[in-house]
Amino acid sequence: MHVLSVSSLKGGVGKTTVTLGLASAAFARGVRVLVVDLDPQADATTGLAVDTAGRANVAEVLASPKEKTVRGAIAPSGWTRAHTGVVDVMIGSPLTTNFDGPHPTARDIWKLEEALATVEADYDLVLVDTAPSLNALTRTAWVASDRVAIVTEPALFSVAAADRALRAIEEIRRGLSPRLQPLGIVVNRWREQSAEQQFRLREMTEMFGPLVLAPQLPERTALQQAQGAAKPVHLWPGDTAVETARRFDALLERVLASGRAAAVPAESAPAAAGPVKEAAGPAGEAAGREESGPA
């Protein structure tokens, strides 16, 4: 089971949209996927058309990550009512704000890891939609993850937030979870005709190198329509939906490839381990800049 956190330290950049797009790609590919809705807004739960009646939620899991509670908080997505596949959701709740303090205890920060271990055999991929901050919820998600995708827009403040996120990932990797690595930076709401966005994309590429992932995800009405109707974009009609779905397919392939690389010991497969080491570089460099003073 491969665990990916989808994160942003700045709200409003489409983090949940990217989570749902990846879930749609996994669904279309037949990957067994669990979406953990750790954002107190619980938009992923809504977008996945989950019937929450009589269910526990992720806040209860964080309070007591026992198998019975974990399974009671997981429900099938409404996407699967008409189509075969496994897309389950650990139901979100505004009550998760009670677990989002700035200084989590060592016990608390491992609770999601403990919870996911109880359902490890049930899924190929876990997508964690994190809170848009660097408090306890996001750190708890990262400790439980193999990779982190940082979602950003090509805009000034979002670029700075991506830099902070990469530094924080390196801090978690060094201090708590050696397996954690950045998957990379997902550029969302891309407008190719915008000179400002082109400048910011070049700036990000200069700063973060191969961590800036391709393809970029452009603004598309079809994507918003699909998610507004609580449907997977891969099943939404129209050419723009098809083109958007292909971009999420490419991003999912990057996620799955990182999972395959992480599963193979470095000493037995140096070629597979190489990209993971390369991806860690810019984050490590960013952490080094932070130690030596402001950039």
Cα separation, 141 vs 233, whole angstroms: 26
CATH architecture assignment, domain 2-292: 3-Layer(aba) Sandwich (3.40)
- Least confident among 64-73, 123-132, 171-180, 220-229: 220-229
pLDDT over 80 (residue 279): no
The more confident residue out of 7 and 103 is: 7
For 89: left if phi > 0, alpha if psi spans -120 to 50, otherwise beta; the answer is beta
Four-residue CA torsion sign, 270, 177, 29, 201: negative
pTM for this model (two decimals): 0.86
Q: State the pLDDT at residue 89.
A: 98
The model's pLDDT over 154-176, given as tens digits with 9 standing for 90+, comes to: 877 877 888 889 999 999 999 89
Q: What is the pLDDT of residue 285?
A: 38
Condensed to tens digits (0 to 9), the pLDDT of residues 19-52 reads 999 999 999 999 999 999 999 999 999 999 999 9
Average pLDDT for the chain: 85
